A and B are shown apart, each in its own frame.
Chain A
Amino acid sequence: MTYAIRTHQLTKGYRGRDVVSNVSMNVKRGEIYGFLGPNGAGKTTIMKMMTSLIKPTGGDIEVLGTRLQANSHEVLKRIGCIIEYPIFYDKLSARKNLEIYCEYMGYYKKDAISEALALVNLKNVEDIPVREFSLGMKQRLGIARAIVTKPELLILDEPVNGLDPIGMQELRDLFYKLSRQYGITLLISSHILGEIEQIADTIGIIREGKLIEETSMSEIRGNHTEHIELSVSDYPKAAYVLEHELQAINFQVKEEEGLINVYDPALSQNDIIQAMVRNGVEIGKINNKNLSLEGYFMQRMEGSKKHA
């Protein structure tokens, strides 16, 4: 397995306080990595370190096989990025902005700019100065700039911020296409889960500068999202029935709420009802629960708060 980005014990401190501490992330080549965390968690700081905009105070970063050092700017040629919010030469047109960027990137393919603008759906506005653009248009132009040089790695910081739902969906489709058709690795940060839930292959969750989880989406879906919620009065007996009669391995008893969550995909609602009735356990209610990543995320956040 090759990695597009690996960080090892990455740390950044400002005035004695660690904004990012001991983050070890692994972004595989070709995948879409969703980088989640509330505002101020350190996402932008980490992304800035990956693009050499700021220097770590500890640990190291390997990007596309190159270990980042003070003068390793060559690798930036293979990376496209938007950091924080897209910045442009406001007085210049969209096309001119991309032209300047391409020249500094050392990329001279002629049609690339028109192609990139078409991909993000910015047609007929390429000669208008960027200061007349709306926030959504600037975001699109930022993405166009990031992809114009056909990089191997895209680092996008909150790329769908400021877009309407249709625009978001369009861009999600674009990201998916870039990943699957062109084999580009994408690292996309967001504080809104729904934005990347559908396309991400791996999710990294960061909170207060620490990476608290890094799992593949399929694992999260398999393990946590779907379950049957059971409300019973006699939960010790219900648990006994689940364990011995139904051979359920994966279930969780929440005593204070009087709930049992059954995560076993082999069991249907019907199996459980029949077994409970046979054993005389009264069922208050039974529900199929589909916990979205949002719920899972919140769960993780609360969990880590308790530990802290």
Chain B
Amino acid sequence: MLNLMRLEMKRMNFLTIGVTFLLINAGILSILLLLGIDPTITAESFTNAGEIMMFIEIMAVAAFVIYASVLLSNMIIEEFKSKTITVLFTTPVGRKQLLLAKVIVISLLTFVSFLVSVGLLSSIFSLLNNLYGILWFSFPINLVWENIVHLLVTGVAVAGMALIPLFFGMIKYSIPATITSSILIIAILSSSINSDGTNLFSFTAVPLALGIVGFIIAYLVISKAVKKDF
């Protein structure tokens, strides 16, 4: 299994993935910096460091769930669509192991990206806030450590959630369906349900439930592909 995961990773372009990771973080950081422009408007949504932390998390979840759908498209949907998966099916690698390796690689990458990104953004923003006083309240770096359990749980949830688009993408091996569904998931999850800015994501149970749904979907998609005729 580890060998199969290594093979999958060998075929991925880590330069592109690295550049994308940096661009995503730069994008989120610039949104954070915008908060410093007009304190009155910022105050309508953010009044303490915890809310900023939540904001960073939501942005990172959104970015990496959508990015995971791009990876799902490239590594799974596209292989089924162009039938290259059948070539791999004629090698002595079990279908289940083959597909599981792909899913695990994508899930792990999403998990790691999410955690590193949140850690990185919080640290940089905290530093910049201390130096230039972007916000009128402090954003201490140790907030990350205080929230570490919550972050890890969310990370696992995100790793599962990122697999939900497989369900829509595998129906007709459609890349647009995969990516669109990931955006929809994020839209539903992060939209405010009432005026004080609470959204579905702020209840940890919701992303966690979605994460479990994602893992179940991945399992069902794999077992269907194992039985299917190609």
Contact = CB atoms under 8 A, between A and B. Distances in A.
B230 interface: yes
A contact residues, range = 20 to 34
A114 interface: no
Given A53-B229, A55-B229, A105 B87 contact: no
B contact residues, range = 10 to 19
B84 A73 contact: no
Interface string A103-125: 11110000000000000000000
Task: Determine which residue in B86, B88, B89, B92 has the highest number of CB atoms from chain A within 10 A of its CB, and name it.
Answer: B92
Given A48-B230, A104-B7, A76 B92 contact: yes
Contacts of B89: 52-53
A215 B110 CA distance: 58
A89 interface: yes
Contact of B84 (A87, A105, A106): A87
Contact of B87 (A52, A73, A75, A101): A101
B82 interface: yes
A262 interface: no
A74 B140 CA distance: 56
Given A53-B229, A54-B230, A103-B7, A73 B82 contact: no
Contacts of A51: 90
Contact of B83 (A73, A81, A87): A87
Interface in B28-86: 82-84, 86
B229 to A, nearest CB: 4
Contacts of B230: 48, 53-54
16 contacts: A51-B90, A53-B86, A53-B229, A71-B94, A73-B94, A74-B92, A83-B86, A87-B86, A89-B82, A100-B11, A103-B7, A103-B10, A104-B88, A104-B93, A106-B92, A145-B87
Contact of B92 (A54, A73, A81, A89): A73
A75 B93 CA distance: 10
A211 interface: no
B90 A76 contact: yes
Contacts of B92: 73-77, 104-106
B160 to A, nearest CB: 27
A142 to B, nearest CB: 10
B91 interface: yes
